Protein backbone atom coordinates (compact mmCIF):
# COMPACT_ATOMS: atom_id res chain seq x y z
CA UNK A 1 0.00 0.00 0.00
CA UNK A 2 1.25 3.47 -0.86
CA UNK A 3 1.08 5.94 2.01
CA UNK A 4 3.10 8.80 3.47
CA UNK A 5 2.98 9.33 7.22
CA UNK A 6 3.52 13.01 8.04
CA UNK A 7 4.72 13.97 11.52
CA UNK A 8 4.68 17.66 12.42
CA UNK A 9 5.52 19.48 15.60
CA UNK A 10 6.99 22.56 17.23
CA UNK A 11 10.48 23.22 18.54
CA UNK A 12 10.80 25.79 21.30
CA UNK A 13 14.43 26.91 20.93
CA UNK A 14 16.35 28.95 23.49
CA UNK A 15 19.63 30.57 22.49
CA UNK A 16 20.14 28.42 19.40
CA UNK A 17 23.08 28.99 17.07
CA UNK A 18 22.65 26.83 13.93
CA UNK A 19 25.70 27.72 11.88
CA UNK A 20 26.13 29.48 8.58
CA UNK A 21 29.04 31.08 6.75
CA UNK A 22 26.78 33.30 4.67
CA UNK A 23 26.56 37.04 5.37
CA UNK A 24 23.47 37.58 7.53
CA UNK A 25 20.85 40.19 6.64
CA UNK A 26 20.60 41.40 10.25
CA UNK A 27 22.96 42.08 13.18
CA UNK A 28 26.23 41.09 11.54
CA UNK A 29 28.50 39.20 13.89
CA UNK A 30 31.70 37.16 13.99
CA UNK A 31 29.65 33.96 14.06
CA UNK A 32 26.30 33.90 12.25
CA UNK A 33 23.16 31.81 12.34
CA UNK A 34 21.39 30.40 9.30
CA UNK A 35 18.91 32.53 7.31
CA UNK A 36 16.84 31.71 4.26
CA UNK A 37 14.65 33.79 1.94
CA UNK A 38 10.93 33.17 2.35
CA UNK A 39 8.36 33.47 -0.48
CA UNK A 40 6.82 36.42 1.38
CA UNK A 41 10.06 38.33 0.81
CA UNK A 42 11.43 38.16 4.35
CA UNK A 43 14.79 36.65 5.31
CA UNK A 44 13.94 34.35 8.21
CA UNK A 45 16.09 32.43 10.69
CA UNK A 46 15.67 28.66 10.59
CA UNK A 47 17.09 25.42 11.93
CA UNK A 48 18.36 23.37 8.97
CA UNK A 49 17.18 19.76 8.78
CA UNK A 50 20.84 18.81 8.44
CA UNK A 51 21.32 20.27 11.91
CA UNK A 52 18.45 18.85 13.96
CA UNK A 53 18.28 15.50 12.13
CA UNK A 54 22.08 15.15 12.13
CA UNK A 55 22.22 15.59 15.89
CA UNK A 56 19.29 13.23 16.32
CA UNK A 57 21.01 10.54 14.27
CA UNK A 58 24.21 10.87 16.29
CA UNK A 59 22.24 10.48 19.53
CA UNK A 60 20.39 7.43 18.19
CA UNK A 61 23.68 5.76 17.30
CA UNK A 62 24.78 6.18 20.91
CA UNK A 63 21.41 5.11 22.25
CA UNK A 64 21.51 1.82 20.29
CA UNK A 65 25.26 1.30 20.96
CA UNK A 66 26.14 1.33 17.26
CA UNK A 67 29.85 1.52 16.33
CA UNK A 68 31.30 4.53 14.48
CA UNK A 69 32.70 2.94 11.33
CA UNK A 70 32.45 5.46 8.49
CA UNK A 71 35.79 6.93 7.28
CA UNK A 72 35.86 10.58 6.28
CA UNK A 73 38.44 13.08 5.09
CA UNK A 74 38.90 16.01 7.48
CA UNK A 75 41.64 18.58 6.80
CA UNK A 76 43.30 16.19 4.35
CA UNK A 77 43.43 13.45 6.98
CA UNK A 78 41.49 10.21 6.83
CA UNK A 79 39.65 9.69 10.10
CA UNK A 80 36.78 7.61 11.37
CA UNK A 81 34.11 10.19 12.10
CA UNK A 82 31.57 9.61 14.89
CA UNK A 83 28.96 8.19 12.54
CA UNK A 84 27.63 4.70 11.98
CA UNK A 85 26.49 3.18 8.72
CA UNK A 86 25.90 -0.48 7.94
CA UNK A 87 27.91 -1.74 4.97
CA UNK A 88 25.27 -3.64 3.00
CA UNK A 89 21.53 -3.45 2.47
CA UNK A 90 20.78 -6.63 4.40
CA UNK A 91 22.49 -5.23 7.50
CA UNK A 92 20.72 -1.90 7.11
CA UNK A 93 17.32 -3.59 7.27
CA UNK A 94 18.24 -5.03 10.67
CA UNK A 95 19.61 -1.76 12.10
CA UNK A 96 17.11 0.57 13.83
CA UNK A 97 18.97 3.67 12.61
CA UNK A 98 20.14 2.70 9.11
CA UNK A 99 16.77 1.14 8.30
CA UNK A 100 15.25 4.58 8.71
CA UNK A 101 18.02 7.03 7.75
CA UNK A 102 20.56 5.33 5.46
CA UNK A 103 18.65 3.32 2.86
CA UNK A 104 19.23 3.83 -0.85
CA UNK A 105 15.49 3.63 -1.41
CA UNK A 106 14.79 6.68 0.74
CA UNK A 107 11.99 6.03 3.22
CA UNK A 108 12.29 9.12 5.44
CA UNK A 109 12.87 12.77 4.65
CA UNK A 110 12.76 15.94 6.72
CA UNK A 111 12.04 19.65 6.38
CA UNK A 112 13.94 22.62 7.77
CA UNK A 113 12.39 23.94 10.98
CA UNK A 114 11.01 27.42 10.21
CA UNK A 115 9.39 30.01 12.50
CA UNK A 116 5.77 29.20 13.30
CA UNK A 117 3.44 30.68 10.71
CA UNK A 118 3.14 31.22 6.96
CA UNK A 119 3.85 34.95 6.57
CA UNK A 120 6.39 37.02 8.45
CA UNK A 121 7.26 40.59 9.34
CA UNK A 122 10.87 41.16 10.36
CA UNK A 123 11.51 44.23 12.54
CA UNK A 124 14.97 45.39 13.70
CA UNK A 125 14.81 46.85 17.22
CA UNK A 126 18.24 48.11 18.13
CA UNK A 127 20.29 45.23 19.50
CA UNK A 128 17.75 42.59 18.46
CA UNK A 129 15.47 41.63 15.58
CA UNK A 130 11.91 40.35 16.02
CA UNK A 131 10.09 38.03 13.63
CA UNK A 132 6.29 38.14 13.83
CA UNK A 133 3.88 35.88 11.98
CA UNK A 134 0.56 36.69 10.31
CA UNK A 135 -1.20 36.55 13.70
CA UNK A 136 1.11 39.14 15.21
CA UNK A 137 2.83 36.55 17.40
CA UNK A 138 6.56 36.99 18.01
CA UNK A 139 7.87 33.63 16.79
CA UNK A 140 11.61 34.35 16.72
CA UNK A 141 14.01 36.83 18.28
CA UNK A 142 17.53 37.29 16.92
CA UNK A 143 20.11 38.83 19.22
CA UNK A 144 23.85 39.07 19.81
CA UNK A 145 25.80 37.49 22.63
CA UNK A 146 29.37 38.49 23.41
CA UNK A 147 31.78 35.72 24.31
CA UNK A 148 35.51 35.13 24.25
CA UNK A 149 37.52 32.45 22.52
CA UNK A 150 40.97 31.22 23.44
CA UNK A 151 43.11 30.10 20.45
CA UNK A 152 43.90 26.45 21.13
CA UNK A 153 45.66 25.55 17.89
CA UNK A 154 48.72 27.81 17.53
CA UNK A 155 49.62 26.27 14.18
CA UNK A 156 46.39 27.67 12.71
CA UNK A 157 47.04 31.22 14.00
CA UNK A 158 49.44 33.48 12.08
CA UNK A 159 51.81 34.89 14.70
CA UNK A 160 54.80 37.12 13.81
CA UNK A 161 58.12 35.47 14.62
CA UNK A 162 59.03 38.12 17.18
CA UNK A 163 56.04 37.01 19.29
CA UNK A 164 56.81 33.27 19.21
CA UNK A 165 56.28 31.79 22.66
CA UNK A 166 54.07 34.58 23.91
CA UNK A 167 50.84 33.63 25.67
CA UNK A 168 47.75 34.15 23.51
CA UNK A 169 44.99 36.19 25.12
CA UNK A 170 41.25 35.47 24.86
CA UNK A 171 39.65 37.04 21.79
CA UNK A 172 36.21 38.68 22.20
CA UNK A 173 33.60 37.99 19.52
CA UNK A 174 29.91 38.53 18.86
CA UNK A 175 27.70 35.51 18.23
CA UNK A 176 24.26 35.59 16.63
CA UNK A 177 21.62 33.70 18.59
CA UNK A 178 17.96 32.96 17.97
CA UNK A 179 15.15 31.97 20.30
CA UNK A 180 11.63 31.18 19.20
CA UNK A 181 9.05 28.65 18.09
CA UNK A 182 9.97 26.65 14.98
CA UNK A 183 7.79 24.17 13.11
CA UNK A 184 9.33 20.93 11.82
CA UNK A 185 8.04 18.10 9.63
CA UNK A 186 9.14 14.54 8.91
CA UNK A 187 7.69 12.21 6.28
CA UNK A 188 7.87 8.41 6.20
CA UNK A 189 7.06 5.96 3.41
CA UNK A 190 4.68 3.77 5.38
CA UNK A 191 4.38 1.39 2.42
CA UNK A 192 8.00 0.27 2.88
CA UNK A 193 8.25 0.64 6.63
CA UNK A 194 6.62 -1.12 9.54
CA UNK A 195 5.10 1.21 12.11
CA UNK A 196 7.62 0.03 14.71
CA UNK A 197 10.41 1.12 12.34
CA UNK A 198 9.37 4.74 12.97
CA UNK A 199 9.57 4.48 16.75
CA UNK A 200 13.32 5.40 16.81
CA UNK A 201 12.39 8.80 15.35
CA UNK A 202 10.41 9.63 18.48
CA UNK A 203 13.22 8.26 20.64
CA UNK A 204 15.52 10.67 18.79
CA UNK A 205 13.20 13.62 19.46
CA UNK A 206 13.15 12.74 23.17
CA UNK A 207 16.96 12.57 23.18
CA UNK A 208 17.21 15.98 21.48
CA UNK A 209 15.38 17.58 24.40
CA UNK A 210 18.21 16.48 26.70
CA UNK A 211 20.93 17.61 24.29
CA UNK A 212 21.25 20.65 22.04
CA UNK A 213 20.97 21.87 18.45
CA UNK A 214 23.56 24.12 16.82
CA UNK A 215 26.98 25.18 18.06
CA UNK A 216 28.53 25.37 21.53
CA UNK A 217 25.85 23.31 23.22
CA UNK A 218 28.29 22.25 25.93
CA UNK A 219 28.17 25.87 27.11
CA UNK A 220 24.40 26.06 27.41
CA UNK A 221 23.41 27.02 23.87
CA UNK A 222 20.71 25.40 21.76
CA UNK A 223 18.35 23.95 24.34
CA UNK A 224 15.02 22.86 22.87
CA UNK A 225 11.60 21.49 23.82
CA UNK A 226 9.34 19.62 21.41
CA UNK A 227 5.54 19.79 21.59
CA UNK A 228 2.28 19.93 19.63
CA UNK A 229 3.11 16.82 17.62
CA UNK A 230 0.52 15.78 15.06
CA UNK A 231 0.39 12.80 12.70
CA UNK A 232 -1.43 12.47 9.37
CA UNK A 233 -1.57 9.85 6.66
CA UNK A 234 -1.61 10.73 2.96
CA UNK A 235 -2.46 8.29 0.18
CA UNK A 236 -2.87 8.42 -3.59
CA UNK A 237 -6.25 10.24 -3.42
CA UNK A 238 -4.58 13.09 -1.53
CA UNK A 239 -1.82 13.52 -4.10
CA UNK A 240 -4.25 13.22 -7.01
CA UNK A 241 -6.36 16.02 -5.56
CA UNK A 242 -9.46 13.89 -5.04
CA UNK A 243 -9.10 13.11 -1.34
CA UNK A 244 -7.90 14.50 1.96
CA UNK A 245 -5.20 13.43 4.36
CA UNK A 246 -6.35 11.31 7.27
CA UNK A 247 -5.80 12.97 10.62
CA UNK A 248 -4.92 10.74 13.56
CA UNK A 249 -6.28 12.66 16.59
CA UNK A 250 -5.31 10.08 19.23
CA UNK A 251 -1.61 10.99 19.04
CA UNK A 252 -0.08 12.49 22.23
CA UNK A 253 1.66 15.85 21.87
CA UNK A 254 5.22 15.17 23.13
CA UNK A 255 7.84 12.54 22.19
CA UNK A 256 7.95 10.93 25.63
CA UNK A 257 4.15 10.69 25.81
CA UNK A 258 4.11 9.03 22.39
CA UNK A 259 6.71 6.49 23.51
CA UNK A 260 4.88 5.88 26.79
CA UNK A 261 1.68 5.11 24.87
CA UNK A 262 3.31 3.51 21.84
CA UNK A 263 0.89 0.60 21.63
CA UNK A 264 -2.08 2.99 21.46
CA UNK A 265 -0.23 5.17 18.94
CA UNK A 266 0.60 2.15 16.79
CA UNK A 267 -3.02 0.97 16.88
CA UNK A 268 -4.23 4.44 15.83
CA UNK A 269 -1.88 4.47 12.84
CA UNK A 270 -3.01 0.96 11.88
CA UNK A 271 -6.63 2.13 11.92
CA UNK A 272 -5.70 5.05 9.66
CA UNK A 273 -3.97 2.65 7.26
CA UNK A 274 -7.07 0.46 7.07
CA UNK A 275 -9.22 3.51 6.44
CA UNK A 276 -6.87 4.56 3.61
CA UNK A 277 -7.02 1.05 2.12
CA UNK A 278 -10.81 1.24 2.13
CA UNK A 279 -10.73 4.62 0.39
CA UNK A 280 -8.41 3.28 -2.31
CA UNK A 281 -10.61 0.30 -3.19
CA UNK A 282 -12.42 0.60 -6.57
CA UNK A 283 -16.01 1.74 -6.20
pLDDT of 208 reads: 94
Asked if pLDDT for residue 69 goes beyond 90, the answer is no
Give residue 225's pLDDT: 94
Asked if 46 and 112 count as a contact pair (C-beta separation under 8 A), the reply is: yes
- Pick the closest to residue 204 from 229, 240, 177 (CA basis): 229
What's this model's pTM, rounded to 2 decimal places? Answer: 0.85
Whether the pLDDT of residue 159 is over 90: the answer is no
Instruction: Pick the range with the lowest mean pLDDT from 13-27, 236-250, 269-283.
Output: 13-27
Output 246 or 125, whichever has higher pLDDT: 246
pLDDT reported for residue 222: 80
pLDDT at position 279 = 80
- The stretch 241-266 carries a mean pLDDT of 94
Q: What is the pLDDT of residue 59?
A: 92
H helix and E strand count, the chain: 7, 15
pLDDT digits (tens, 9 = 90+) for 82-135: 678 888 888 888 999 999 998 888 999 999 999 999 999 989 888 888 999 999
**Residues 129, 143: Cα–Cα separation, whole Å:** 7
**pLDDT at site 283:** 62
Instruction: Summarize the confidence of residues 4-15 as an average pLDDT.
Output: 95
pLDDT band, very low/low/confident/very high, at 39 (cuts 50, 70, 90): confident
Indicate if the pLDDT at residue 81 is higher than 70. no
Neighbours of 165 (CB within 10 A): 7
Residue 57 main-chain phi, psi, to 5 deg: -65, -45
> Beta strand pairing status for 32-33 and 19-20?
antiparallel
Amino acid sequence: MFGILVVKGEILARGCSPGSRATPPYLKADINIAFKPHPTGANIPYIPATSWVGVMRNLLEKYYDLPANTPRIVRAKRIVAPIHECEDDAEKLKCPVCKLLSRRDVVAWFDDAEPKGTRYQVTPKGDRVEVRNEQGQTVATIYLKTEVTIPREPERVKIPKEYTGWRMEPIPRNVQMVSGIFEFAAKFDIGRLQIDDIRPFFVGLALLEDYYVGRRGTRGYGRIEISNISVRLRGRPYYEGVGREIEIPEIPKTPKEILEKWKEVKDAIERAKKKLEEEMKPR
